Structure 1
Amino acid sequence: MSNVRQLRDKQPENEKITINLGFVDLGRIDLLVQEGFYSNRSDFIRTAIRNQIEAQGDVVRQTVERHTMELGLRDYSRADLEALRDAGEVLHVKVVGLARIADDVTPELARQTIGSITVLGALQASNDVKTALADRIR
């Protein structure tokens, strides 16, 4: 008997995006990196994005409240969805951030309990669950 257990794969804490920049803007970023203001291009871009989000913070908070969306990380477990199913309720997922549907949630359970999904950020779920809910993801 082996005492080696497989641990859950660590989920990424961020999402990779691709942007297109003009040569002049890219040169300006490189100049700031070269002068030591930022450690690299990614550091500059992350800082610029955070500054813009902070500058628009009140608008983001008001919009989240108006749309009754959850802000941050929201996990949906199999037990959560089974309880909804047993209660005859349907879930409408509205998240700004990261929404995760547990790996042990079956496509059938997901279709029975999730009426719609709106995620501004990222949705993590098995490919089977995403396929089953494709018509409900906005």
Structure 2
Amino acid sequence: MSENEKITINMNVVDLGKIDLLVEQGFYSNRTDLIKTSIRNQLSSHSSVIDNVITVKSYEIGINYYDRETLEQVLEQNKQLDIKVVGMLVLKDDIEVELAKKTIKSLKVLGVFRASHELKIALKK
């Protein structure tokens, strides 16, 4: 599974032309290089805010996987999960909707959420 996700942005033609000019002048290898660099610079300039929110709100960072066996263990312990992720959350296909409803109290994903269509709909409610 790739750790990269494709995004699409809309830009006005003048800004796009300026990007092409910088690429042509050798500042960046291509449009994507400029966009990635710009995003990283913005994330870096706001890193203290990001780090503070992640700490205060107890987000997990990275790629987090949950499967049926893990949720069954949570159920056996009579617990419910408050899942908060910055990155990607994957709920495996072996998880049944009822098990997820019983074990996941709340869910917030900033990034990518991968699960079956049925599970996503059930957890939205």
Give the whole-Å Cα distance in 2 for the aligned partners of 1:12 and 1:134.
25
Aligned partner (choices 102, 105, 119) of residue 115 of structure 1: 105
Matched, 1:23 2:13: yes
Query: Over residues 9-44 of structure 1, what are the superposed CA-to-partner deviations in whole Å (9 max), with x where a residue is unaligned?
Result: xx2322222222122211111111112222221121
Q: Which sections of structure 1, spanning at least 5 residues, go unmatched?
A: 1-10
Which AA in structure 2 matches 1:110? A
Asked if 1:48 corresponds to 2:67, the answer is no
Residue equivalent to 1:65: 55
CA deviation after TM superposition for structure 1 residue 121, in Å: 0.6
Count of residues in Structure 1 that have an aligned counterpart in Structure 2:
125
Cα distance in 2, alignment partners of residues 127 and 43 from structure 1: 33
Give the whole-Å Cα distance in 1 for the aligned partners of 2:66 and 2:25.
Answer: 45
CA distance in 2, matches of 1:108, 1:12: 29
Q: Which runs of 5+ in 2 are unaligned?
A: none
Q: Does 1:86 align with 2:52?
A: no
Relative to the length of structure 1, the TM-score reads 0.84
**Structure 2 residue corresponding to 1:77, chosen from 58, 67, 79:** 67
Moved over 4 A (4+): none
Normalized against structure 2, the TM-score is what? 0.92
Aligned-residue sequence identity (percent) comes to 46
Q: Which amino acid aligns with 1:50?
A: R
